[in-house]
């Protein structure tokens, strides 16, 4: 299968939550890349929605970025959440992108 992705995806130790949500809202990000990530959610956003996310990196630092929802898929009963959500980064500072790059290279 031809992989046409612009960025390599990694299961890095990165967690995320919508900006301003309580601590229990943290979810492990899946398939993280410099272009975006997947995350499980119980309340589905709509494709095209823009959200502010906090990313929690392994060094205990945080990155705040804007993402756009690309797709939303329902998950079967017994899954860790109700929805699987794919987002792409639309705004992330160059310094934060570099910090994320270091995490992705070390995984």
What pLDDT, in 10s, does the model give residues 2-28? 445 565 655 677 889 888 877 667 888
Residues 56-64 have a mean pLDDT of 91
CA distance 100 to 37: 12
Mean pLDDT of 31-35: 91
Overall average pLDDT of the 37-45 stretch = 90
* pTM beyond 0.95, yes or no: no
Q: Is the domain 15-106 a CATH 2.40.10.220 member?
A: yes
């Amino acid at each position: 299968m031809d992989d046409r992705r612009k960025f390599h995806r990694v299961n890095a130790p990165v967690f995320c939550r919508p900006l301003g949500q309580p601590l229990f809202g943290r979810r492990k990000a899946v398939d993280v890349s410099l272009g975006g990530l997947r995350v499980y959610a119980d309340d589905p956003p709509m494709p095209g929605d823009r959200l502010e996310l906090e990313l929690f990196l392994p060094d205990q630092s945080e990155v705040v970025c804007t993402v756009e929802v690309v797709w939303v898929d329902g998950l079967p009963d017994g899954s860790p959440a109700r929805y699987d959500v794919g987002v792409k980064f639309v705004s992330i500072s160059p310094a934060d992108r570099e910090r994320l790059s270091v995490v992705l290279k070390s995984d």
